[in-house]
Chain A
Amino acid sequence: MISIQALKKVFTSSDNTITAVDDLTLDINDGEIFGVIGYSGAGKSTFVRLLNRLEEPSSGRIIIDDEDITGLNTQQLRMARQEIGMIFQHFNLLWSRTVKENIAFPLEIAGISKAKREERVQELIDLVGLSGRENAYPSQLSGGQKQRVGIARALANNPKVLLCDEATSALDPETTNSILDLLVDINKKLGLTIILITHEMHVIRKICNRVAVMENGKIVEQGDVLEVFLRPKQSVTKKFVEQVMGTDEEDEGVSYLVSTYEKGKIVRLHFVGETTNQALISQLAKQFSIELNILQGKITQTQRGPYGTLFVQIDGEKKEMEKAIDYITNETSVEVEVVRNAD
């Protein structure tokens, strides 16, 4: 487990002081993918660099697996860093080395023999899907491939934790997705704890279990990703949720739906991430003699299942409609709200 206690970083220059990370306390569980989201300048990048002391904390403690990182001397810190992998927005590969040699670099640092290095490098190349590109130089690779080298390099010494500093921000959406898939894959295969910094909510949605929202050096909101999506409390969080779900234009939309579809009931179904309800609409159609018409909605997938809203028109016998709504309310975790009752 990673425990961060009252962590603080103050930058002082001649004319002013900036508190980049302000009294931050946080626990991150083993094997989870923990996301930290915030706009630029929120202090998230400083935060992740404090974790392996690329920035020295001004005060506070960082404990990774019962080891007090903040209390280590230079030599001990070097050893500890070998167990904390890190990947970067701009990949930071050595251009003078091939893919193979880049991945071997942390192994050289750890003093692994040449034969063992080669074996491990080959394993890693297979793991990140770069077979055939071993002898290419970074300049010959695409952005996504470069980040794969970055990931392989970060994993070389079997770290316990992987820090991702805006690891997908320089990539196009499709490449971002493939890199995120790789991270989830690694997380499952190796049971690695991943701490991920981003300003993109869809990254959080796609792979994180828990999320913390940072603003002005503080964590203003944290919790399960689904919970944060469902009930964002702070305005900054709401804005991030809107990045994925679109802006809240429901009022206008609903009145439009009500006036356009005159027959039957209109209900709003709120999916909150239980995978068991994926076939809800077809179940309703089979079990009750009602007509279902999907009017509008947006469903998105998170690590814990689907999340989103559907507007559905239900028409049929009044009794059947009531039974169907009771069924949704009582038998499933989908929240239902009747927007307009049948006349």
Chain B
Amino acid sequence: MLTSLLESLDVEELLTATYETFYMTIIALIGTFVFGTLLGLLLYLTDKGGIWQNKVINLIVASFVNVFRAIPFIILILLLFPFTDFLMGTIRGPNGALPALIIGAAPFYGRLVEIALKEVDKGVVEAAQSMGAKTRTIIFRVLLPESMPALMSGLTVTAIALIGYTAMAGAIGAGGLGSYAYYSGFQRRDFELVFICSVVIVIIVFLFQFLGDYISSKLDKR
């Protein structure tokens, strides 16, 4: 069985697919981190009792987050085709998947950021205020550093969800392991290739999980 597995395997194609999956996951993760943190901060700061308490903005941001979390990812990609075309100049390949990946994952991560920020001791924020700290200082020197382990483990969860999303995007032409498994494996009845792709994806997931856990525990000085 192993020989037949290796016979049918084009290593170069597998490597390209793996690279594309990594590429999409990492770029989308960076985008998700930036936008998700922004959304999470907005949710936290405009919430009742927050520094920028504002019902209207909170409602708008919360609605945006809820709407984009509600749309199934496969439909979100289709829905975003015109936007993607306008932004990236293409709807195909790894780059064509990025807008949908980020817009799909950022609201999810935003909620995780909000939860992480809520865990920060109110007393510490108050202490910073009593020292005369600006809101900017409170955000960048208190809220974000103090919630960093939770932000990291949230990012790990999000990264793994993103790997799943890239596979889905692959099925409609984004490239990567999902694409490879679907077009070269499933459609050609080569289930061994589907299996190999699955194994590689599982390894990637484990890698992200291990790395995320490690960074998170290194950051945690509690």
A-B contacts at CB below 8 angstroms, number: 66
| Distance in angstroms between the alpha carbons of A95 and B145 in the assembled complex | 9
Stretch of B63-71, B122-130, B206-214 that contacts chain A: B122-130
**A113 in contact (CB, < 8 A):** no
CB-contact partner of B123 in A88, A97, A138, under 8 A: A88
User: Restricting to A195-214, which residues have a CB under 8 Å from any CB of B?
Assistant: none
Asked if A90 contacts B123 (CB within 8 A), the reply is yes
| Distance in angstroms between the alpha carbons of A97 and B128 in the assembled complex | 13
Stretch of B53-61, B82-90, B133-141, B191-199 that contacts chain A: B133-141
**A142 in contact (CB, < 8 A):** no
Given contacts A95-B146, A96-B148, A108-B141, contact A88 B132 (CB under 8 A): no
Asked if A88 contacts B127 (CB within 8 A), the reply is yes
**A59 in contact (CB, < 8 A):** no
Closest to B138 in A: A109
A51 to chain B, nearest CB (A): 10
What's the tally of chain A residues with a CB closer than 8 Å to chain B? 29
| Distance in angstroms between the alpha carbons of A79 and B124 in the assembled complex | 19
Asked if A93 contacts B124 (CB within 8 A), the reply is yes
Closest to A137 in B: B221
**B222 in contact (CB, < 8 A):** yes
Asked if A106 contacts B131 (CB within 8 A), the reply is yes
Asked if B132 contacts A110 (CB within 8 A), the reply is yes
**B142 in contact (CB, < 8 A):** yes
Contacts of B130 in A (CB 8 A): 52, 54, 81, 84, 86, 163
User: Restricting to A282-330, which residues have a CB under 8 Å from any CB of B?
Assistant: none
Flag A42-77 by CB within 8 Å of B: 1 or 0 each: 000000000010100000000000000000000001
User: Restricting to B140-172, which residues have a CB under 8 Å from any CB of A?
Assistant: 141-142, 145-146, 148
CB-contact partner of A79 in B127, B132, B221, under 8 A: B132
Asked if B126 contacts A92 (CB within 8 A), the reply is yes
Asked if A96 contacts B146 (CB within 8 A), the reply is yes
**A275 in contact (CB, < 8 A):** no
| Distance in angstroms between the alpha carbons of A51 and B165 in the assembled complex | 53
Most chain A CB atoms below 10 A, which of B123, B126, B132: B132
Contacts of A139 in B (CB 8 A): 221-222
Asked if B145 contacts A82 (CB within 8 A), the reply is no
Contacts of A79 in B (CB 8 A): 132
Contacts of B132 in A (CB 8 A): 77-82, 106, 109-110
Most chain B CB atoms below 10 A, which of A80, A81, A86, A109: A109
B55 to chain A, nearest CB (A): 15
| Distance in angstroms between the alpha carbons of A163 and B141 in the assembled complex | 23
**A39 in contact (CB, < 8 A):** no
User: Restricting to A75-125, which residues have a CB under 8 Å from any CB of B?
Assistant: 77-82, 84, 86, 88, 90, 92-97, 105-106, 108-110
Most chain A CB atoms below 10 A, which of B129, B131, B142: B131
**B121 in contact (CB, < 8 A):** yes
Closest to B219 in A: A96
CB-contact partner of B141 in A90, A95, A105, under 8 A: A105
| Distance in angstroms between the alpha carbons of A248 and B130 in the assembled complex | 42
Asked if B148 contacts A109 (CB within 8 A), the reply is no
B119 to chain A, nearest CB (A): 12
Contacts of A96 in B (CB 8 A): 145-146, 148, 219, 221
Contacts of A88 in B (CB 8 A): 123, 126-127
Asked if A82 contacts B129 (CB within 8 A), the reply is no
A94-B124, A95-B222 given; name 4 further pairs at CB < 8 Å.
Answer: A54-B129, A94-B142, A105-B141, A106-B131
Pick 20 A–B contacts, CB within 8 A, sort by A: A54-B126, A54-B129, A77-B132, A79-B132, A81-B132, A82-B132, A86-B127, A88-B123, A88-B126, A90-B121, A94-B145, A95-B222, A96-B148, A96-B219, A97-B145, A105-B131, A109-B132, A139-B222, A153-B127, A153-B131
